[in-house]
Amino acid sequence: MVEEAGSVRRSFFLFRCKKGQGAACPVDQPEDISLRYTTGYNFKRWHLPKHNLTLATFWAPFLVRTTDACGGQTLDGILTLHLDEPHPSWSAEIGAFDYVIVLAGQWFFRPLVYYRSGQLLGCSACGQDNVTEVSRFQAYRAALRTTLRAITGRNGRKGGGGGTTFLRTFLLAHFEHGDWTDGESCPRTRPFGSDEKKLEGYDL
């Protein structure tokens, strides 16, 4: 199983089971095999040899290829998204997996510049003159479309494509009493009740 993961696993998950077990295969006592494939904290793999099960997470909060205008990872700087190019961290790996869970959304709040076919498309909240403002929803939709096309056309599986994909669209903020960068907490131990949270805007 592979998860394309952002904050609190907000982007990809994949797993592989014995033939015929499907998603019902049990998960216990995994062996961490991350270092055999990557040294990055955000790219993890676990293998359960007893059950012939492999789980993996891939950090790709925007799902598509992303470059940083500052030359490195930044918490609040402007990022460039190539909306028609799936992120290589997961797109090169998913052919070997039977199940894919795609989780994404929250990261589209930040200032972003968008490219398509190598050409500037526009931006969201980038504050740059003479750059077309593009809706975050439009960019999110384009990133999801690119992701799902890459999954359905993946190589490495008999007959191409195949497997099962789950899409979780958007997650309510999991931090309370402040922003995630300034000492917030996450005390919630159960889901919101139907009368506890008003869903509007990005939550929908």
Count of alpha carbons within 13 angstroms of residue 76, beta-carbon side = 3
- Statement: the pTM of the whole predicted model exceeds 0.75: no
CB atoms within 10 A of CB 82: 20
**pLDDT tens across the length of the chain (204 residues):** 555 544 434 344 444 444 444 444 445 555 666 556 665 667 788 887 777 788 888 888 899 999 876 555 555 678 999 999 999 988 888 888 888 888 876 778 888 999 999 999 999 988 888 999 999 989 999 999 999 999 888 755 554 556 788 887 666 665 666 666 665 667 777 777 778 777 666 555
Secondary structure element (H or E) that encloses residue 121, with its range: strand 119-124
Q: Report the number of distinct structural domains present in the chain.
A: 1
Beta strands per DSSP E along 37-107: 43-48, 53-59, 64-68, 79-86, 99-103
Strand bridging mode 79-86 / 12-16: unpaired
The pLDDT score that the predictor gives to residue 122 is 95
Question: What range does the domain containing 56 cover?
Answer: 2-203
- Residue recorded with tokens 């999954």: 151
For tokens 């909240």, name the residue: 125
Chain mean position to CA 41? 15
